[in-house]
A = this chain, B = another copy of it.
């Protein structure tokens, strides 16, 4: 992806890995200069030598996470072969949903940042951009759907359709994290399937 600083200081990267290890374990609330320093086996001062402040460390960590995470949305997706456009889009949604559910800690961490971003402009900008890129990954399939039935989506764009996909996935993620016993994302996926595909011919995504 986008590496930004030419000489990737190995020390910086090592510290970022330690910071991520702490954040993945104890979330942002447990991430302090001292815990990260301890994780890296290093003195606290060193962290402020390489990052100008804790704030800078947080931003750089988010940046690092966004760069080192294939957000699933970013994988290139092959155009359809024979399947109808709706099925293509639903398949993408399902893949992302599974991907998100498989890395719960990371998702929870992103929500920490999301909340932080509500008050922190730089963090907000980063998350905003990541979410935008995420939505964009649905555009090709969304365009295909709209091309299929132009009248049905009058006044609506592929962006709108992509937004719905992202909303569904995010909403499934929040509910799964909060209440995994009562909310089953896979069944929700199957329900969406049945809702969108006309005259359901059975259910596709019922696998556990």
Contacts and interface: CB of A to CB of B under 8 A. Distances in A.
Interface string A155-195: 11101110110111111101101110011100110111011
Contact of A156 (B151, B177, B182, B194): B194
Main secondary structure of the interface of A (DSSP, over half): helix
A163 B149 contact: no
B191 A156 contact: yes
Contacts of A198: 198-199
B128 A161 contact: no
Interface residues of A, number: 58
A174 B175 contact: no
A74 B152 CA distance: 32
Contact of A171 (B29, B171, B177, B196): B171
B177 A174 contact: no
A115 interface: yes
A168 B163 CA distance: 10
List of 6 A-B pairs having minimum Cβ-Cβ separation, nearest first:
A167-B171, A171-B171, A152-B200, A170-B171, A160-B191, A160-B187
